[in-house]
Amino acid sequence: MHPTITRMQEIIAKGDDTLIAEVLAEDVRFQPPTYYKIWTGRAPVAAILGHVGQIFSDFRYRRIMGEGKDWALEFQCKVGEMDAIGVDLITLNDDGLVQEFEVVMRPYKTIGALREAMNARVSTDARFLKFREALS
């Protein structure tokens, strides 16, 4: 298994954006299941994943499939009391850092709960005012 994928297993659920930033390319592109725009850049993507790691509970990767640069990491977790299953679709760059990160998740009701929890968290995180301006 690629060392970056192994490291992701160790850090993604901890919710520590400093650790998460270590595995992200500077110009990483992130497509969350809760938001229609693509987030670009190490700082905003690490911040988002840090918040998600604090919202998810009982997070674990169930299966990891892939080789080379392309990986699919199936996970299960809870958002509040609701169960969720999802897949992190990861593409690594030539340096072995995460270049593309897309999350697909179900069920829909849990995605709504995740969106609400994320909105509540980022509304109190001053970094996101700057990040959102960059999306506009």
Amino acid 126: pLDDT:
75
Amino acid 136: pLDDT:
46
Q: What is the pTM of this model?
A: 0.87
Q: Which residues of the chain have pLDDT under 70?
A: 129-136
Amino acid 124: pLDDT:
80
Q: HSE, CB side, 13 Å, CA atoms: give it for residue 15.
A: 11
Instruction: Show me where the domains of the chain are located.
Output: 3-127
How many angstroms separate the CA atoms of 52 and 17, rounded? 10
Domain covering 3-127 assigned CATH 2.40.110.20 in the classification: no
Q: HSE, CB side, 13 Å, CA atoms: give it for residue 1.
A: 13
